[in-house]
């Protein structure tokens, strides 16, 4: 199955997405997600200008060889742009291989290990009553695990809170990349106060547990905004509320920081959505400093790299928690779901519902019901791209917000 075409498609049905479509000489096509939020065109250029010419004439069936060829052949390894591009190629080739075999991808990965993937939704609000209403709404939608994010007293806009100023006055149920109202495109700047956050969040979880009881799995995302000792304090303060996990409690660049957090709390820890290689996890896995791997298939090098990472994590009793925000396209989400179904050490899957415009461009066949996500039984990934619909949504720059402390210092996520 020689590759005859590799086309990069950029579209923005509310969010910017980069999709690679590989076509073989016998007419089989495969899709891969190369989206990198806020740096989409860098990946699109990497694919179109540097990777696509290398693929023409290669055997589409040689997935591992192609992965190594692209990763090692460029000399410059790793990095988010490179790994998103490699992921797009890798995922598209797995889509082709599964279609050629006439079976869904999870069957090629060893078959199903469970009936479906437990998914968590994203409840949030400016205050406790809004949060409780949001939890009720998610339970009514069928979610059986819920992430809790709260507004902070004194702060107008908090990233990840659907009804805050980050939504431009409208409620949103995803984490937004925003577009400037005037002037050149640039990230919106938000004020952040860690001390106020640390005082407020335990009270929020106390109220949620009092309302919904001890059985509902609850999660929380710190968005990398704490120092290690602050993260340790929050983890300890949240122990009475039995979290499923505390995510991204401290900046991920220094994995040894998790040693301090681990010493002071038994709250389970998850990290990794900003990582772009299995190599980033060496210390975290070998020292059991985390409980869940949070990378996205799209950003860690594709199905091939994610499967190797999760197999390594399994040796240490560490589970998956694959990143699944709305800036991962339905192609990337489908790839995650096939892995979720196949791997032994599945933990939970993040699930943000894509917009109607996104689902017009990407025709999906995975489904959500009774708290579980189910990948398609169609051959391949089970996602097709409508290029006519994609053309109706041209690229427009958008960025996640930048945090500043109350003294004006730019702050870590």
Provide the annotated active-site residues.
159, 223
**146-150/117-125 β-pairing:** parallel
The DSSP 8-state label assigned to residue 59 in this structure reads B
Q: Report in angstroms the alpha-carbon separations of 80 from 9, 225, 232, 275.
A: 19, 21, 28, 8
Residues forming beta bridges with residue 246, ordered by sequence position: 220, 269
| Whole-angstrom distance, CA of residue 69 vs CA of residue 409 | 42
The answer to whether 302 and 276 are in contact (CB under 8 A) is no
CA angle 261, 267, 273 (to 5 degrees): 70
Distance CA 302, CA 288 (A): 24
Long-range contacts of 195-199 (CB under 8 A, 24+ apart): 196/152, 196/153, 196/154, 196/155, 197/152, 197/225, 198/226, 198/230, 198/233, 198/234, 198/237
CA angle 18-23-25, nearest 5°? 170
Residue 356: partners with Cβ closer than 8 Å, 6 or more residues away = none
Backbone angles phi, psi at 3, to 5 degrees: -80, 130
What are 270's two structure tokens?
Answer: 């998850």
Residue with tokens 């809004």: 130
- The DSSP 8-state label assigned to residue 346 in this structure reads B
H helix and E strand count, the chain:
15, 18
């Amino acid at each position: 199955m020689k590759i005859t075409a590799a086309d990069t498609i950029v579209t923005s049905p509310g969010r910017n997405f980069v999709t690679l479509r590989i076509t073989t000489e016998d007419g089989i096509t495969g899709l891969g997600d190369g989206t990198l939020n806020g740096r989409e065109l860098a990946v699109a250029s990497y694919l179109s200008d540097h990777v696509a010419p290398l693929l023409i004439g290669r055997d589409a069936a040689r997935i591992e060889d192609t992965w190594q060829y692209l990763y090692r052949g460029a000399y410059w390894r790793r990095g988010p742009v490179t790994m998103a591009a490699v992921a797009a190629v890798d995922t598209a080739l797995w889509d082709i291989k599964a279609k050629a075999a006439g079976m869904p991808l999870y069957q090629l990965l060893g078959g199903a290990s469970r009936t479906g993937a437990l998914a968590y939704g994203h409840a949030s609000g400016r205050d406790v009553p809004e949060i409780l209403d949001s939890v009720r709404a998610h339970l009514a939608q069928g979610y059986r695990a819920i992430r809790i994010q709260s507004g902070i007293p004194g702060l107008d806009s908090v990233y990840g809170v659907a009804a805050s100023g980050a939504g431009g006055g409208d409620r949103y149920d995803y984490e937004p990349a925003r577009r400037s109202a005037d002037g050149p495109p640039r990230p919106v700047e938000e004020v952040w106060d860690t001390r106020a956050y640390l005082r407020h969040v335990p009270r929020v979880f106390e109220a949620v547990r009092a309302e919904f009881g001890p059985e509902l799995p609850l999660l929380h995302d710190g968005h990398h905004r704490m120092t290690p000792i602050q993260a340790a304090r929050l983890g300890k303060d949240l122990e009475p509320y039995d979290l499923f996990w505390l995510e991204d409690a401290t900046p991920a660049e220094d994995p040894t920081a998790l040693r301090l957090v681990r010493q002071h709390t038994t709250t389970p820890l998850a990290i990794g959505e900003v990582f772009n290689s299995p190599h980033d996890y060496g210390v975290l896995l070998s020292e059991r400093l985390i409980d869940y791997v949070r990378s996205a298939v799209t950003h860690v090098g594709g199905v091939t790299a994610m499967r190797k990472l999760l197999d390594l994590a399994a040796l240490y009793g560490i589970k998956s928690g694959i990143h699944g925000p709305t800036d991962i396209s339905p192609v990337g989400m489908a790839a995650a779901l096939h892995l979720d179904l196949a791997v032994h050490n599945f933990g939970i899957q993040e699930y943000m519902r894509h917009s109607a415009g996104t689902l017009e461009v990407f025709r999906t066949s995975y489904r959500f019901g009774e708290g579980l996500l189910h990948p398609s039984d169609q051959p391949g990934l089970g996602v097709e791209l409508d290029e006519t619909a994609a053309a109706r949504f041209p690229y427009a720059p958008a960025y996640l917000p930048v945090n500043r402390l109350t003294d004006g210092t730019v702050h870590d996520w």
